[in-house]
Amino acid sequence: MATNGGFPAFLAGVRVLDLTQFEAGPSCTEALAWLGAEVVKVENPQGGEAGRSLLGRQSGPSQNQDSWYFLLFNANKKSVTVNLKSERGLALVKNMAKRADVMVENFAPGAIERLGLGYDVVHAVNPSIVYAQVKGFGTGGPYENNLAFDMIAQATGGVMSITGEPDGPPLKPGATLGDTGTGMLLAISILAALYRRRDTGQGERIEIAMQDAMLQYIRVALSNQATYGVAAQRNGSKVISGFAVPSGIYPCKPGGPNDYLYVYTSRTNPVHWQRLLEVIGRKDMIGDPRFDTAAARRQTRGDARARRRRRARRRHLRHDGADRGRRLQAARNHADDGAPDRRPVQDAGLAGAFRRSDAGRQAVAAAWTTHK
């Protein structure tokens, strides 16, 4: 696989035993590999990890080689093939675990235990190991034995419920937040466990459920829900709160499938609105009380939106405003929404109350649960 590409070897000397597959687990171990860890991926002797052929193998001169899907999540790793269902293979992996700093797995619930490589077994072999797992739903919750994929995590974790048009159905974002989003959180947790181990010498068991991980990506929606007492609504391409007016996606010339401009004007900085008016040639609207504040624009946004769309359609994506040195603050918004089914989240120990000493308010906070 690819070499390290010049990244500083922050994790040089750290050995990672990688028993992951597809995306949620491999994205985590690949991040550790990019940071300099020695990652050894254990694969099935019969064709290797299933991701090697997922979405089709490469065509042309590279035909029958590993899929791009596999390569993009497994760079910088070493690979070995081991039959985990044989006594010899199991003994080999236990020996690798004895010398590893980290072990990561994301098999279906109960599978790693049936293979004879559960936490208790591995901890007995290596008490200082950081044993990290991705599961679909939290251990101890009502869905702990259910399988999960990226789209299931996003659906049950609340991400889809806040994505889409206000009058339309929920949508799945294009980004794989359920898979890679969970993998990145697991990588961060592993780094924290390794940091603590420097002083204590103790290993750790870390489990992150994909459903729980989605709460990290919808916190703005949760804050809206806590503030107004109702679930956050879908708001299309605009910010979830609806207070930044205007914000949204507008079509531009030449009218291709991706010829759109995202406009965002912060309600905390009136200069953004003035810059936008200058760029689109509407200086005459500067100071107009109907549009001068975010609150006023929110009341009259229907008329303003129609005007912006007409002007955007007449302008090329490479807008001459850039040539004039004008800058608009642009950002891509991913929506957030009301809390998912709280019962499994609370059962997993993720949802807890905290009290602000200054105002005596309560809100919901998310905190990782570790298992020793």
Structural domains of the chain, with CATH: 15-216 (3.40.50.10540), 247-323 (3.30.1540.10)
At 270-286, the pLDDT tens digits run 788 888 889 889 999 99
Across the chain, what does the average pLDDT equal?
82
Dihedral over alpha carbons 194, 200, 205, 207 (to 10 degrees): -50
pLDDT number for residue 367: 32
**Which are the contacts of 43, defined by CB distance < 8 A and separation ≥ 6?**
49, 79, 80, 81, 82
Catalytic residue among 18, 179, 212, 336: 179
Mean pLDDT of 314-336: 39
Q: How far apart are CA 267 and CA 264, in angstroms?
A: 9
> Is 179 annotated as catalytic?
yes
At 136-154, the pLDDT tens digits run 999 999 999 999 999 999 9
Residues 229, 231, 235: CA angle, nearest 5 degrees? 125
Q: How far apart are CA 298 and CA 245, in angstroms?
A: 6
Mean pLDDT of 23-34: 97
Reported as a pLDDT band with limits 50, 70 and 90, residue 306 is low
Mean pLDDT of 343-361: 45
Mean pLDDT of 25-49: 96
- What per-residue string of b and e applies to 76-102 under the rule 16 or more CB within 10 Å gives b? bbeeeebebeeeebbebbbebbeebbb
Q: Exposed, middle or buried: residue 252 (CB in 10 Å: 0-12, 13-18, 19+)? A: buried
